[in-house]
Amino acid sequence: MKQPIFKGSGVAIVTPFIHESVDLAAMGRLLDFQLEGGTDAVIVCGTTGEASTMTYRERMRTIEFCVEHIDGRIPVIAGAGSNNTESALALSKDAERAGADGLLLVTPYYNKASQPGLIRHYTCIADAVNVPIILYNVPSRTGVNIAPESYAELSKHPNIMGTKEASSNFGNLQRTLNLCPEDFYIWSGNDDETLPICALGGVGVISVAANILPAEMHALASLCLDGDFSAARELQLYLKDFCDTMFCEVNPIPVKAAMNLLGMEAGALRLPLYEANGIQMERIRKTLVQYRLLQES
């Protein structure tokens, strides 16, 4: 039986950019903050990490750095997805060689792959590596959705252990759980859906909010996994405003803005992403004050 690479809250960590390069010193401080906050895994070079605007060399060096810095204390999961199967295959192999404990593979974007195409894409990569793979279903970004029947087929592969679900389609999620074996694991891809997904049998969340609130997201996931849904409900509802603000603009624009306001050195965004406007910045600032992370000016 396959075992999940992690349970609980994994941070989809930002990539701090400075002077057109990755600020690895700042990345090290962000990783230390996550370890201190009890984060259960680090997911590097994903959507929140702006991997699509990083060069191949930057991605691999950032993955290598995270592996070296974490040094086995928690799993490091490398984003290795692409809409080009050969590129995703190369990224996956190199991430494994760099020491990543697992891979996160987003659905191929833009191509609008068919369900048989998705199955072949993922199977090709899974056949070529020896680390666990978490699929990533986020149709709002990629324009393609993994059907429950495709999950059922992919769940048969020994290297495919589950999926990060960010479709917000709870009907399909329930069908997926009915079609797949018990050792096909689900992580919430949306912070504000952590409790409902865990209530259906999920094993945690891959979180944007954890960049700033690692202890709170770890606590939320732990309460869910312990079956204390009453306390989890209270915490989930408490965090709702924060989660909503972190998505008041395309991720990771708000979370990077918030982190920089807090002096966390998240660095600049890379085009085509652009800084939050004045209205959004005011909302972000007010939310940080509301959660007592920033003093009211």
Burial 93-111 (b: 16+ CB within 10 A, else e): bbbbebbbbbbbbbbbbeb
Binding residues: 48, 206
Q: What would the two tokens of residue 183 be?
A: 């050792």
- 105: Cβ–Cβ under 8 A, 6 or more apart, which residues? 80, 81, 88, 92, 122, 125, 133, 134, 135, 136
Q: Which of 7, 122, 151, 164 is catalytic?
A: 164
CA-based radius of gyration for the chain: 18
Is 274 tagged catalytic? no
What single-letter DSSP state applies at residue 296? -
Q: Which of 7, 122, 136, 256 is catalytic?
A: 136
Q: Give CA separation, 282 vs 285, 287, 288, in Å.
A: 5, 9, 10
Is 164 tagged catalytic? yes
Q: What would the two tokens of residue 266 be?
A: 């998240």
Q: Which residues are catalytic?
A: 136, 164
